[in-house]
Amino acid sequence: MQITPGRFDGTVALVTGGVSGIGASVTTRLLAEGATVVAVDVAEATIASFRGEHQDAGDRLDTRVLDVTDADAVNRTIAEVVEAHGKLDLLVANAGVGAAGAVADVDDATWRFVLGVDLDGVFHVARAALPHLVASKGSIVNTASISGMGGDSAMAAYNAAKGAVINLTRSMAVDYGHRGVRVNAVAPGPVATPLLRPILDANAVVRDTYAERIPLGRVGEPDEIAAAILFLASPDAAYVSGVTLPVDGGLTAWTAQPALY
């Protein structure tokens, strides 16, 4: 992981799902590059563990329990964050869940749960944060997925939610660009997060299929997705807005057709 010291000095960032997987890598790297980071998650034990691993961050790491599906809790938390830290410069809307099932196999509770976290959660935090981001001329980076750019087998709810996040990203970029706020998204491919890594370790067929189908020959690492998120959040992307950046080892570049010659 290539650190750029001081790149985010003075920045106050909120990262949802910020203490595990991709979110933990984003939080860790923002801290390393000078930001004050508010990392929120639903898992108190994971928050406590993450905090214990980052004691050297001192008061630049602020961890809180937050369920992004609860709009009132989101509103309260963001108001408290701005009161505590004086402003908000960056929102990384990263919290997400998945569930298997084709449409006829998905019950209402599963559908609402996946869309509630993956789509409503992005909407709730963006709505609460945007007045503060307008004031700071800040930015939003949403974690979408290549699953929002195409269909997967038996992932109807996740595909629907992530596709909506991509177009919500475009909508916010259009509505808030004239007010000084950039809005972008990353679309990770398969990433060795705590959810996927055990499957890769236990299932050679899945592991080998990924290696065959991804042009770079492997799944991604959380730090590699974090690097793309920090680029989009940084001054280097000052003229980038409304973009969804695939970070997928070239997977979406390939039609998966066999070689003919």
Distance (Å, rounded) from C-alpha 59 to C-alpha 132? Answer: 21
SS3 184: strand
User: Burial code of 149-181, b = ≥16 C-beta within 10 A, e = fewer?
Assistant: beeeeebbbbbbbbbbbbebbbebbeebeeeeb
For residue 259, is pLDDT > 90?
Answer: no
Q: Parse the chain into domains and list their residue ranges.
A: 12-189+221-244
CATH number, domain 12-189+221-244, options 3.30.230.10, 3.40.50.11540, 3.30.1330.10, 3.40.50.720: 3.40.50.720
Could you report the per-residue pLDDT of 141-175, keeping only the tens digit for each? Answer: 999 999 999 999 999 999 999 999 999 999 999 99
pTM of the full structure:
0.97
Give 214-229 pLDDT, tens digit per residue. Answer: 999 999 999 999 999 9
Ramachandran quadrant class, 80 (left: phi over 0; alpha: psi -120 to 50; beta: rest): alpha
pLDDT score of 256: 84
Q: What is the pLDDT of residues 12-54, one digit of tens each?
A: 999 999 999 999 999 999 999 999 999 999 999 999 999 999 9
3-class SS at 237? helix
At residue 195, the pLDDT reads 82
Determine phi and psi for 81, rounding to 5 degrees. Answer: -60, -45
Q: Give the span between the Cα atoms of 138 and 87, in whole angstroms.
A: 10
> Quick check: is 158 catalytic?
yes
* pLDDT tens string 77-115: 999 999 999 999 999 999 999 999 999 999 999 999 999
Average pLDDT over every residue of 2-12:
95
